[in-house]
Amino acid sequence: MTGDHERAKEPLTDGGAAGADEVALDPWGSSSVSDYRKLFEEFGIETFDELLEDVPHPHYLMRRGVIFGHRDYRPVLEAMAEDEPFAVLSGFMPTGDPHIGHKLVFDEIIWHQQQGGDAYALIADLEAHAARGLSWDEIDEHARDYLLSLLALGFDPEEGTLYRQSTNREVQDLAFELGIDANFSELGAIYGFDGETDVAHMQSVVTQMADILYPQLEEPKPTVIPVGPDQDPHVRLARDLATRMRFFGVTTAYASFEATDTELEVVAAAYDARETYAEDPDLPRCGEAAEWLADAESEAVSADGVEGVVEDVLETVPDNVRGTTISKLENAGMEPLRPRTRFLDRRATDDAFAALIETIDGEKRVFDEHVDAFDLVHDEAEALAREIELANGGYGFLPPSSIYHRFMTGLTGGKMSSSIPASHISLLDDPEDGYDKVKAATTGGRETAELQRELGGKADECPVYELYAYLLAGDDDEFAKLVYDECVGGDRLCGDCKEQAAQLMKEFLAEHQEKREEVADLLEAADIELESTRRG
């Protein structure tokens, strides 16, 4: 819980996020994040707070800042608002018992299903076998436990989809196709793979990419992947592959030549300044723009009142890029500089490219590898490109979105981990054991009761407070806020706080395990194979 005093009064928690010098995200390691702010700076994750007012009936994990970031979640929100199809998918690698940290993802899937989304939950058994070396018998045992907890928490198997990677042929076929567009150098750069990495591990990555895009096989639709931030490398690669699989790319252009994104910035600035240099501003020429850019730092141009445009270009674009842009404009000569929407041929079939040309209405220019349309806005062009692609056997994938939740702090400090029993509470733990683990947990309290009353507790650094915020307070924000305020105000001592939390945990585990027994028949009836026929 960072920020000013007023914000500190809100029932949020940041898991002790402060002061890290660097962030490393490893989907198979023991990644933890000490400063979530760096994820915004280094990886382009956006803050979730800016979207919260647009979320219908936000889950308490959203309201309390446990879900702290997103990547391109707006299309999902728009689909919710307009009652259009959208999907949610997340997977579970069955390497141990499901614990209360996993419950965050269970809850996020279920909430999206309740908002009308097509919900997918998968058992990442190929990944568990390849990356963690679990036997299929071990995987079967743990997979059943994950699925029972998911159903007990409210997942509707009749309205949603449950599957295992190893038995889903559509996922495996899609993984093969995606693998054509992924290479070893790329996987090495993203995941640190080297000559010692086994091929099955690399295959499991491409299978996860297929999992992420699987909800769009029948039709393209916004899809959100709820994950911890350590899984962001998977999301970024899936977004890249979704784009590479498209028949057409839709961009903005100003002339017939190809330009990089940074060169396009320069061309756009030159077009916006056309009143300054063009003999006919309604029909500026590429050569005129080139001459203007070459003289852009001269007093004559500055005197004409466009120094702001020129300065922005010079500040944000390297000199060599400005130089290559000038060369391309010079070569275009008398060609008019006109904005247009460009369809780039990425991997379209000949029939699809021909269909695109035929379908575009209005003025257009056709080149070997792209088509320029002068009467289509970008959104219309995107819809047309996807329509042509789908009609000609393509996928039409939308880049998947993601939301990110904070890691739960382990009861003994550090990240909650399945491999450290004392750090987590399994959803299968005996309720009495759950009670004992909470009672033994570290806290953010002061050294003595007197100091606690005088200075207040450090709820932002307290694993026990996190239990309230993430789980024990349920949907009751007022209760979560009360616990926080009493702690930091010095009115709540750690002994009483842990006792209350331990009792609530005991009750939660007992109720959850009772529900697991109640949904056992639902799992047996669900369309998922619970026992693998594989060897190894």
What does the H/E/C string look like for 464-519?
Answer: HHHHHHHHHCCCCHHHHHHHHHHHHCCCCCHHHHHHHHHHHHHHHHHHHHHHHHHC
Nearest to 94 by CA among 198, 21, 164, 183: 164
Residue 59: per-residue pLDDT: 97
Beta strands 340-345; 370-373: pairing state: antiparallel
Identity of residue 464: V
Helix (H) or strand (E) holding 123: strand 118-123
Structure tokens at 505: 């945990």
- Taking the CB of residue 172, how many other CB atoms lie within 10 A of it? 16
Length of the chain, in residues? 536
Residue with tokens 């309290």: 445
Cβ atoms within 10 Å, residue 364: 17
Contact indicator for 363, 274 with CB cutoff of 8 Å: no
**According to the model, what pLDDT value does residue 197 have?**
84
For every one of its 536 residues, what pLDDT tens digit does the chain have, with 9 covering 90 and above?
A: 233 323 333 333 333 322 223 444 343 344 445 566 676 667 788 999 999 999 999 999 999 999 999 999 999 999 999 999 999 999 999 888 999 989 999 999 999 999 999 999 999 999 889 888 889 999 999 999 999 999 999 999 999 999 999 999 999 999 999 999 998 888 888 888 888 888 888 888 999 999 999 999 999 999 999 998 888 889 999 999 999 999 999 999 999 999 999 999 899 989 998 998 999 999 999 999 999 888 865 544 444 555 565 566 666 778 788 899 999 999 999 999 999 999 999 999 999 999 999 999 999 999 999 999 999 999 999 999 999 999 999 999 999 999 999 888 888 777 777 667 778 899 999 999 999 999 998 888 888 888 889 888 898 889 999 999 999 999 999 999 999 999 999 999 999 999 999 999 999 999 999 999 999 999 999 989 888 888 76
A 10 A CB-CB count for 489 gives: 12
Give 487: exposed, middle or buried? Use CB within 10 Å, 0-12, 13-18, 19+: buried
**pTM attached to this predicted model:** 0.86
Q: Reduced to 3 states, what is the DSSP secondary structure of residue 75?
A: helix
Phi-psi region at 192: left, alpha or beta (left = phi > 0; alpha = psi -120 to 50): left
**Contact, 22 vs 38, CB < 8 A?**
yes
Residue 335 identity (one-letter amino acid): E
Of the candidates 27, 437, 48, 425, the residue with the CA atom closest to the CA atom of residue 236: 27
Q: Are 147 and 510 in contact (CB under 8 A)?
A: no
| Phi/psi at 243 (5° precision) | -70, -40
Q: For the chain, how big is the Rg over CA atoms in Å?
A: 27
The reported pLDDT for the residue numbered 3 is 32
List all residues 6 or more positions away from 139 whose beta carbon is below 8 Å from its beta carbon.
94, 123, 125, 128, 129, 532
Closest CA to 37 of 52, 12, 19: 19
User: How far apart are the C-alpha atoms of 38 and 286, rounded to whole Å?
Assistant: 42
CA–CA separation, 445 and 459 (whole Å): 8
* Numbers of helices and strands, H then E, in the chain: 25, 11
